């Protein structure tokens, strides 16, 4: 049985992990024996959700009190991820870290190094890798045999996560805004679909000082694919992940998790709806595990937990490893590094000028660069 400590008892634990952890506890796969949160009341409340768990304010005290722990699930604010993960590795504990892996690439690198040094697992919470639709997009890209692809990925909606504090909306504590929050899922989906990539250019609307962006746009290039990503905390966009090649098009609304539309360019304009059927092991059997196709985000989170337990117990490769999480974080951090003011031509001219002059990069004196110098893959539309 895997012993578990949950670090950070906010909305992620309550809404995403609580239910599958309780279920797995009943199945005897794991035991949650510690809950850690800087706000003791939250830790105590969360401890009540599990059979034999105790609440703590301090992670070191929890480790000292509880003895050997196999897995730490880190779902605290991102600024604490690195120090908490490193503390866990030093106690010979595996780590499943919620996204973003950390608030800086250097601290994430340190997490990966420490995991390697202590020979522990570092998995990153990227539940979208379990979306059957995303898996279908990966297969579609593989089948295109390196022919040029273009993509667009848009995801916008009013921020609606029940955060307990404004920490996420300050640069010093949140590291960024919509890009490191919602955008990191999107960048990870692109990375998972296309493989390693690079930033071409980026723009956001963050103001100087403690301001964080509520809109961001990135142009990205992957092996034979090029396209852009746009995320918003402010309003809906024409949401969806759209891929096109000479051979056809694929469109994923991303909700529901298994919905995919495709059409053949040669066959006219009619879209065909396809149900993605990719499945993952849903139990800990080493031989012929039961395979399940997730139908919603909850089931994806559950399968992600199963995957982590299988990695610990059976030595399987995690679906989202620390190395991959680091690569994704580097792309996001590069986007912050290179950010230019987002063009907002719908605003009155005076307001546009004010926003450009108060953009966080303008105020910090960092000149943004455009890296893109390679032509887009050419595709006839």
Partner 1 sequence: MNNSTDICQTRNEKPSQQHTSNTLFDSGLPTTKIAIVGAGGFVGARFLRLVRQHPKAYGVGIVRSAKSLARLSNMEVRVADTSRASCLAGALVDCDTVVNAVSGDLSRVLEETETIYTAALAARCRLLVHLSSAVVFGRALSPNIEDDSPPDTRSWMLYARGKARSEVFLRQAMSAQPAMQVVVLRPGLVWGPGSHWSSMVGEQLSRGPVCLSNGGRGIANLVYVDNLVQMILAVHGSEGGPAGFYNVGDPQQVTWSHYYQSLARRLGYAETDIRTWPDAHLPLTPKLALEWCLQRQPLYRAARWLLPRVGLGFKAKAKKIMKGESLPPHGREGVPTAAPRLSREHWALQNTAFCLPTNKFFRDYGPLELTPLEDALDATASWLRFAGYAATGPFDLSHLW
CB of 10 to partner 1, least distance (A): 11
CB of 376 to partner 1, least distance (A): 9
Measured from the CB atom, is 114 or 154 closer to partner 1? 154
Measured from the CB atom, is 106 or 350 closer to partner 1? 350
Measured from the CB atom, is 142 or 353 closer to partner 1? 353
Measured from the CB atom, is 65 or 296 closer to partner 1? 296
Measured from the CB atom, is 28 or 348 closer to partner 1? 348
Measured from the CB atom, is 145 or 269 closer to partner 1? 269
Rounded to whole angstroms, the Cα distance separating 187 from 201 reads 14
Q: Which residues pair with 5 in a beta bridge?
A: 34, 72
CB of 156 to partner 1, least distance (A): 7
Q: Which residues pair with 225 in a beta bridge?
A: 149
Place of tokens 């002059």: 357
Q: Are 203 and 341 in contact (CB under 8 A)?
A: yes
C-alpha closest to that of 182 among 164, 199, 204: 204
Measured from the CB atom, is 208 or 316 closer to partner 1? 208
Rounded to whole angstroms, the Cα distance separating 34 from 55 reads 6
Cis peptide leading into residue 100 (ω within 30°)? yes
CB of 272 to partner 1, least distance (A): 10
Measured from the CB atom, is 63 or 233 closer to partner 1? 233
| DSSP run (H or E) holding 173 | helix 171-174
CB of 154 to partner 1, least distance (A): 5
Upper half-sphere CA count for residue 291 (Cβ side, 13 Å): 7
CB of 46 to partner 1, least distance (A): 17
Q: Are 227 and 151 in contact (CB under 8 A)?
A: yes
Rounded to whole angstroms, the Cα distance separating 325 from 199 reads 16
DSSP state of 45: H
What tokens were used for 379? 């595709």
Strand ranges (E), the chain: 2-7, 30-36, 54-56, 71-74, 94-98, 122-125, 149-156, 197-204, 215-222, 225-232, 240-245, 248-252, 259-263, 272-275, 280-281, 291-292, 340-341
Measured from the CB atom, is 120 or 302 closer to partner 1? 302
CB of 235 to partner 1, least distance (A): 4
Rounded to whole angstroms, the Cα distance separating 83 from 192 reads 27
CB of 277 to partner 1, least distance (A): 18
CB of 216 to partner 1, least distance (A): 10
């Amino acid at each position: 049985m895997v012993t578990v400590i949950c670090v950070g008892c906010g909305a992620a634990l309550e809404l995403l992990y609580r239910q599958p952890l309780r279920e797995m506890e009943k199945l005897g796969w794991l035991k949650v024996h510690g809950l850690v949160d800087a706000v003791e009341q939250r830790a105590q409340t969360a401890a009540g959700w599990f059979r034999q768990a105790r609440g703590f304010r301090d992670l070191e005290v929890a480790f000292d009190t509880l003895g050997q722990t196999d897995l730490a699930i880190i779902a605290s604010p991102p600024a604490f991820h690195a120090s908490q993960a490193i503390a866990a590795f030093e106690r010979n504990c595996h780590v499943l870290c919620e996204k973003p892996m950390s608030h800086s690439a250097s601290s994430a690198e340190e997490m990966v190094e420490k995991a390697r040094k202590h020979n522990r697992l570092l998995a990153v919470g990227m539940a979208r890798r379990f979306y059957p639709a995303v898996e279908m997009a990966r297969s579609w890209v593989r089948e295109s045999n390196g022919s040029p692809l273009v993509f667009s990925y848009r995801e916008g909606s009013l921020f609606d996560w029940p955060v307990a504090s404004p920490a996420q909306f300050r640069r010093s504590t949140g590291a960024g805004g919509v890009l490191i929050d919602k955008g990191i899922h999107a960048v990870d989906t692109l990375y998972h679909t296309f493989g390693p990539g690079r930033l071409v250019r980026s723009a956001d609307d963050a103001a100087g000082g403690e301001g964080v962006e509520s809109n961001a746009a990135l142009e990205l290039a992957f092996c034979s694919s090029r396209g852009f990503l746009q995320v918003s905390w402010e309003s809906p966009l024409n949401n969806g992940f759209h891929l096109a090649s000479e051979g056809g098009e694929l469109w994923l609304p991303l909700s529901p998790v298994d919905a995919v539309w495709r059409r053949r360019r040669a066959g006219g304009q009619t879209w065909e709806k396809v149900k993605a059927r990719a499945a993952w092991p849903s139990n800990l059997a080493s031989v012929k595990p039961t395979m399940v196709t997730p139908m919603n985000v909850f089931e994806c989170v559950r399968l992600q937990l199963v995957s982590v337990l299988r990695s610990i117990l059976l030595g399987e490769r995690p679906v989202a490893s620390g190395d991959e999480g680091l690569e994704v974080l580097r792309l996001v951090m590069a986007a912050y590094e290179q950010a230019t003011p987002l063009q907002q031509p719908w605003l009155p001219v005076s307001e546009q000028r004010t926003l450009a002059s108060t953009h966080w990069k303008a105020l910090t004196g960092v000149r943004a660069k455009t890296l893109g110098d390679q032509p887009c893959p050419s595709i006839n539309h």
